[in-house]
Amino acid sequence: MAMLAVLQGWDWQFDGWIMVVGVLCATSTALLGNFLVLRRMSMLGDAVSHAVLPGLVAAFLISHSRSSLAMFVGAVIVGVLTAMFTEWIRRFGRVEESAAMGVVFTSLFALGLVMIVQADHVDLDADCVLYGAIDLTPMFTVNIGAYEVPQAAVVLSVVTLINAAFVLVCYKELKISSFDPSLAHSQGVRPAWMHYALMVLVAVTTVACFESVGNILVVAMLVVPPSAAFLLTHRLGLMIVLSVVIGAAGAILGHVGAFAIPRAFGMPSTSTAGMMSVALGGLFVLALLFAPQQGLVSRSIRRFVLSQQILRDDIVAYLYRAGERHGEAIAKRSDLITELFSSAVPMSLALRRLVRQDCIRDCGQQIELTKQGEKLGKALVRSHRLWESYLVEQAELDRSKIHDKAEQWEHFTGQALRDRLVDQTSSTGLDPHGTVIPAEPKSDDDGPPDAS
Amino acid sequence: MIWSDLWDVLLLRDYNTRVVLLGVALLGAASGLVGSFTLLRKRSLMGDALAHASLPGLVIAFMIAVAAGGDGKSMPLLLAGATMGGLAGVACILFLQRFTKLKQDATLGIVLSVFFGLGVVLLGITQKMDAGHSAGLETYIFGKTASMRRADGIMIAITALISILVTGVLFKELKLLCFDADFAGSRGLRVWLLDTILMVLVVMVTMVGLQAVGLVLMVAMLVIPAAAARFWTESIFRLALVSASIGLVGSVLGATASAVMADLPSGAMIVLACALLFAVSMFFGTQRGVLPRLWRRRQLNAKIARQHLLRGIYELSEAEFQDANPGHWVSLIDLLQKRSWNSKQLRRQIETAELVELVRYKTDQVALTSAGYAEAARLTRQHRLWELYLVHYADVATARVDRDADDIEHVLEHDVVEKLERLLDHDPIRIAVPSSPHAMEST
């Protein structure tokens, strides 16, 4: 119910169009943004959207009007010039790409500022360029058939279609020239043409979008969804699809958020464009944390699971060695913690799991190895000592250096590998330190016990 | 009059102009200095990202001040807020670069746009709040140009001093960081600490500069002087000096222009002046400028062509007369067939070589002078020594060595030739030319 109260004053006719425009912006930019991110040119949108200022002013001075078409053409021309100047300075001046970009767009922007002052009655709204006017887009409509459609929605639909067509038709060429320009060249694709085609489309899209969402949100939409998608997948096709979905979701969430969140605190709604980039940022953070392969949280969970597995192995091996030395495989919990460089919480987690696996008996402070656990410990210690023998005999390592490696590899050594190690080492039955290598545990259940 | 105005400006007669000129000059120098390191670290657009990232910090500082009952426009507080925002942005960028596979440009774009978006959202809220005297808050970030006050000037001077001191003290470490961060790490330097120090310098300069010239123009001050200076030198020390000087000169030029002509915004003029200096540097810069580089390539090509001519004549006369003494005339037609040159190119080469008296020329025949002979013998000797080396030591087939030696003969230094002599047991004193190891095609 609170949710509904917050959404009071929501008008599907009006707010629906805002979301449509936002989604169209997000789609058209995300399509191209993937390739910018892959080509390490993410800042191009930023550069183009700043640099178009002189184009806008010149169009105004020449046409003496604020007609959208003249402005659009002027801005696109300067946008393309920005990309070309950057490329020239990079190639002929051998300046690093981002520096070249910085030189070009700031100079053009400064030129635009000077031109504005010279033409003293230029009526350009700096706020509109910076923050966009997406909240106003439903007010400027054109009639298509019987429907009244916001102009921005029409323009952006066309741009989205063009971009989608470009990406579909030139998918292979774009892919190959983004990842390996030399290979592209050798296959008869012209990487330079792809580059310029992409630049022109980025300029057109940026100009078309920044009127509605402002130049900073253009950067957000170009860069953030593809970057999030980049963290989620390794496949280009999927990355493009994901980036479009993320971009659209960010646009919708952004508008709803701008509408609802401040109201929840009793304040009037805030900038939609700003909230859209915040929403995109939020989605990016989610991807950053929870991406299945590369997410920070997923990565640390995997690392924790692995460390638990290793700790369990270490406990069992420690108990087995204690049994070898003193006849009974028993150790104190506190000794285990200090000897295995662990701490209380991970240790009790590992012990609980081992009890469930029936490898140990937990008698309060004393930990005791079971039959099942002894078999596991035997296999681990056997792997360890076999590796030590192998390292001394075959890799000719010094005896002081073999322990650490054997300690690492014992966890990943199954019976098949142990048998091969036996073949490769002299079968004295003793490891390089002179201790007995335990015999292979008789397996009533198959497979290496540590692969559980 | 413009001229008297110019005079006034240049002599720093007016107090305001004095403050502005000194201020922008120091700012230009400081950002040029810091920018030269960020350029080499390939982080030119870092200033852009963190300048945008400072907006939410600024607005939050304002909100806190208003909530605490102040009017929120206290400069040190806003500056502190903006700096915190910028630092948070830098931290996010460095974090993303370290823990994800995203590249620098993407991390900059993400932080820039998301932070700025957040700032805009907060700004939208404050503007609609009751206590909102927040109007003009954002002009802080986009600069108000040419109204620098004494306090701003002092702030800039302090920042400039700090950046000079820090870069001076840490010069060696920063140099290592810029050229080979991995190596720096292996030498026990804390790369992340140095990076952070560098970024803090960038934040400082940017925050102070935002006030004076505005956001985009501050980005320009960090990028353009350094990029321009790169054309003039290959030494990092000189790069820092030249970059600071270009920043200084550009700022003074721009500020002067805007002071003299009433309706030119000073920030934009400073950037345009720097852009002009950049264009000049790009074409005429002595080390990497486009024109000097073209010139050097032409010189090299001319030298190579002349050496080809001399060796061509030498080998022809050697083939015809068994020894290649000066004064043997060889025919142009034979010479023309030795290489892939057309008769026009060949004639031009002969003419220029005749000017410096290396060859003599009469109708369709050409001969070496004794100077030309000495040079040609030296070249042929180098060529053949290299061929012999390839045959004996690199096991290259005899039929293929001519082409390889052709490339290398022009750049063989004296000490390399000496090494070859030692390796091949050739007597260095006489101009003894070993006979060619492969059959001469022209015979």
> What pTM was computed for the model?
0.81
Is there a contact between A278 and B117 if contact means CB atoms under 8 Å apart? yes
The tokens for A195 are 């580059």
Instruction: Give the residue, A203 or A262, on which the prediction is more confident.
Output: A203
- Does A174 contact chain B (CB < 8 Å)? no
Is there a contact between B267 and A37 if contact means CB atoms under 8 Å apart? no
pLDDT of residue B89: 93
- Does A268 contact chain B (CB < 8 Å)? yes
Distance CA A224, CA A244 (A): 11
Residue B361's H or E segment, with its range, is strand B359-362
Is there a contact between B268 and A113 if contact means CB atoms under 8 Å apart? yes
Question: How many CB atoms neighbour CB A342 within 10 A?
Answer: 18
The tokens for B287 are 């080390």
Angle at B15 between CA B14 and CA B19, to 5 degrees: 120
Closest to A106 (Cβ–Cβ): which among B112, B121, B217? B217
- Does A287 contact chain B (CB < 8 Å)? no
Is there a contact between A92 and B264 if contact means CB atoms under 8 Å apart? no
Distance CA B34, CA B166 (A): 10
Tell me which fold the domain B2-285 belongs to. ABC transporter involved in vitamin B12 uptake, BtuC (1.10.3470)
B contacts of A110 (beta carbons < 8 Å): 216-217, 220, 267-272, 275
Average per-residue pLDDT for chain A: 84
Q: B158-172 in b/e burial notation, b at 16+ Cβ within 10 A?
A: ebbeebbebbeebee
CB B215 within 8 A of CB B52: yes
**Residues of chain B with pLDDT > 70: what percent?**
85
The tokens for A214 are 């402002």
The tokens for A389 are 């023998």
CB A36 within 8 A of CB A226: yes
Is there a contact between B263 and A120 if contact means CB atoms under 8 Å apart? yes
Q: Looking at CA atoms only, how far is residue A175 from chain B in angstroms? A: 18
The tokens for A151 are 């102009």
pLDDT in tens, B77-135: 888 888 899 999 999 998 998 889 999 899 999 999 999 989 888 888 887 665 555 55
Q: Looking at CA atoms only, how far is residue A208 from chain B in angstroms? A: 18
Window 87-146 of A: residues touching B by CB (8 A cutoff) are 89, 92-96, 98-103, 105-107, 109-111, 113-114, 117-118, 120, 126, 131
Closest to A294 (Cβ–Cβ): which among B52, B100, B106? B100
Distance CA B260, CA B9 (A): 7
Instruction: Give the residue, B35 or B148, on which the prediction is more confident.
Output: B35
Give the nearest chain A residue to B275 (CA atoms): A107
Q: Is the pLDDT of residue A451 over 50?
A: no
| SS3 assignment, position B68 | coil
Domain architecture of chain A: domains with CATH: 10-218 (1.10.3470.10), 300-451 (1.10.10.10)
Place of tokens 């939050």: B60
pLDDT of residue A221: 92
Place of tokens 């001469």: B440
Is there a contact between A41 and B42 if contact means CB atoms under 8 Å apart? no
Distance CA B202, CA B380 (A): 57
Is there a contact between B110 and A274 if contact means CB atoms under 8 Å apart? no
| SS3 assignment, position A331 | strand
Q: Looking at CA atoms only, how far is residue A440 from chain B in angstroms? A: 43
CB A348 within 8 A of CB A367: no
Phi and psi at residue B187, in whole multiples of 5°?
-85, 5
- Does A232 contact chain B (CB < 8 Å)? no
- Give the best residue of B59, B105, B206 to mutate against chain A (max A CB count within 10 A): B105
Distance CA B182, CA B208 (A): 32
CB B183 within 8 A of CB B194: no
Give the nearest chain A residue to B122 (CA atoms): A270
Closest to A107 (Cβ–Cβ): which among B102, B109, B275? B275
Distance CA A98, CA A95 (A): 8
Q: What is the ipTM of this complex?
A: 0.83
**8-state DSSP, B441:** T
Distance CA A324, CA B309 (A): 87
Q: In angstroms, what is the C-alpha Rg of chain B?
A: 32
Window 14-73 of A: residues touching B by CB (8 A cutoff) are 37, 40-43, 45-46, 50
Average pLDDT over residues B318-330: 74
Average pLDDT over residues B197-224: 86
pLDDT in tens, A136-145: 777 777 777 7
Q: What are the Cα distances from residue B149, in Å, to B14, B20, B21, B30, B38? A: 13, 8, 11, 18, 29
Closest to B105 (Cβ–Cβ): which among A98, A103, A117? A98
Query: Domain ranges in chain B?
Result: 2-285, 294-424
CB A158 within 8 A of CB A96: no
A contacts of B142 (beta carbons < 8 Å): 126
Crossing angle of helices A371-393 and A402-409, in 10° steps, is 130
**8-state DSSP, B143:** -
The tokens for B137 are 């808050």
pLDDT of residue A336: 86
Q: Is the pLDDT of residue A297 over 50?
A: yes
pLDDT in tens, B353-379: 888 888 888 878 888 888 888 888 888
The three-state DSSP-derived secondary structure of chain B is CHHHHHHHHHCCCCHHHHHHHHHHHHHHHHHHHHHHHHHHCCCCCHHHHHHHHHHHHHHHHHHHHHHCCCCCCCHHHHHHHHHHHHHHHHHHHHHHHHHCCCCHHHHHHHHHHHHHHHHHHHHHHHHHCCCCCCCCCCHHHHCCCCCCCHHHHHHHHHHHHHHHHHHHHCHHHHHHHHHCHHHHHHCCCCHHHHHHHHHHHHHHHHHHHHHHHCHHHHHHHHHHHHHHHCCCCCCHHHHHHHHHHHHHHHHHHHHHHHHHCCCCCHHHHHHHHHHHHHHHHHHHCCCCCHHHHHHHHHHHHHHHHHHHHHHHHHHHHHHHHCCCCCCCCEEHHHHHHHCCCCHHHHHHHHHHHHHCCCEEEECCEEEECHHHHHHHHHHHHHHHHHHHHHHHCCCCCHHHHHHHHHHHHHHCCHHHHHHHHHHHCCCCCCCCCCCCCCCCCCC
CA nearest to B53, candidates A141, A220, A118: A220
Is there a contact between A101 and B104 if contact means CB atoms under 8 Å apart? no
- Does A229 contact chain B (CB < 8 Å)? no
Q: What are the Cα distances from residue A281, in Å, to A227, B109, B113, B352? A: 10, 11, 9, 67
Is there a contact between A111 and B227 if contact means CB atoms under 8 Å apart? no
| SS3 assignment, position A40 | coil
Helices (H), B261-288: 266-284
Question: How many CB atoms neighbour CB A12 within 10 A?
Answer: 8
Closest to B45 (Cβ–Cβ): which among A98, A273, A274? A98
- Give the best residue of A92, A113, A206, A269 to mutate against chain B (max B CB count within 10 A): A113
Local confidence band at A444 (pLDDT 50, 70, 90 cut-offs): low
B contacts of A114 (beta carbons < 8 Å): 264-265, 268-269, 272
CA nearest to B144, candidates B133, B154, B152: B152
Is there a contact between A102 and B268 if contact means CB atoms under 8 Å apart? no
CB B265 within 8 A of CB A100: no
Enumerate long-range contacts of A322-325, CB under 8 Å, 24 or more apart: A323/A369, A323/A374, A323/A377, A324/A381
Q: Is the pLDDT of residue B22 over 90?
A: no
Is there a contact between A117 and B265 if contact means CB atoms under 8 Å apart? yes
The tokens for A406 are 């054997």
Q: Is the pLDDT of residue A191 over 50?
A: yes
Q: B247-261 in b/e burial notation, b at 16+ Cβ within 10 A?
A: bbbbbbbbbbbbbbe
A contacts of B117 (beta carbons < 8 Å): 216-217, 220, 273-278, 280-281
Distance CA B288, CA B291 (A): 9
Q: Is the pLDDT of residue A117 over 80?
A: no
- Give the best residue of B40, B111, B178, B223 to mutate against chain A (max A CB count within 10 A): B223
Distance CA B212, CA A284 (A): 34
Q: Is the pLDDT of residue B427 over 60?
A: no
The tokens for A269 are 């709604």
pLDDT in tens, A35-77: 999 988 888 888 888 888 888 888 888 887 766 788 888 888 9
A contacts of B243 (beta carbons < 8 Å): none
Q: Looking at CA atoms only, how far is residue B38 from chain A in angstroms? A: 10
CA nearest to B290, candidates B305, B272, B278, B304: B278
Closest to B105 (Cβ–Cβ): which among A40, A117, A131? A40
Is there a contact between B109 and A120 if contact means CB atoms under 8 Å apart? no
Phi and psi at residue A52, in whole multiples of 5°?
-70, -10
Strands A147-150 and A360-363: unpaired
Is there a contact between B124 and A271 if contact means CB atoms under 8 Å apart? yes
Local confidence band at A125 (pLDDT 50, 70, 90 cut-offs): low
CB B286 within 8 A of CB B355: no
| SS3 assignment, position A155 | helix
**Virtual CA dihedral for B123, B126, B132, B136, nearest 10 degrees?**
-10
Instruction: Give the residue, A65 or B29, on which the prediction is more confident.
Output: B29
CB A420 within 8 A of CB A383: no
CB A104 within 8 A of CB A51: yes
Tell me which amino acid residue B420 is: L
Is there a contact between B113 and A284 if contact means CB atoms under 8 Å apart? no
Distance CA B303, CA B326 (A): 21
- Give the best residue of B34, B36, B54, B114 to mutate against chain A (max A CB count within 10 A): B114
Closest to B110 (Cβ–Cβ): which among A217, A224, A296? A224
Average pLDDT over residues A85-113: 90
Give the nearest chain A residue to B129 (CA atoms): A267
Is there a contact between B223 and A50 if contact means CB atoms under 8 Å apart? no
Does domain B294-424 fall under CATH 1.10.10.10? My reply is: yes
Closest to B44 (Cβ–Cβ): which among A42, A102, A288? A102
Distance CA B38, CA B236 (A): 12
Average per-residue pLDDT for chain B: 82
Distance CA B353, CA A235 (A): 61
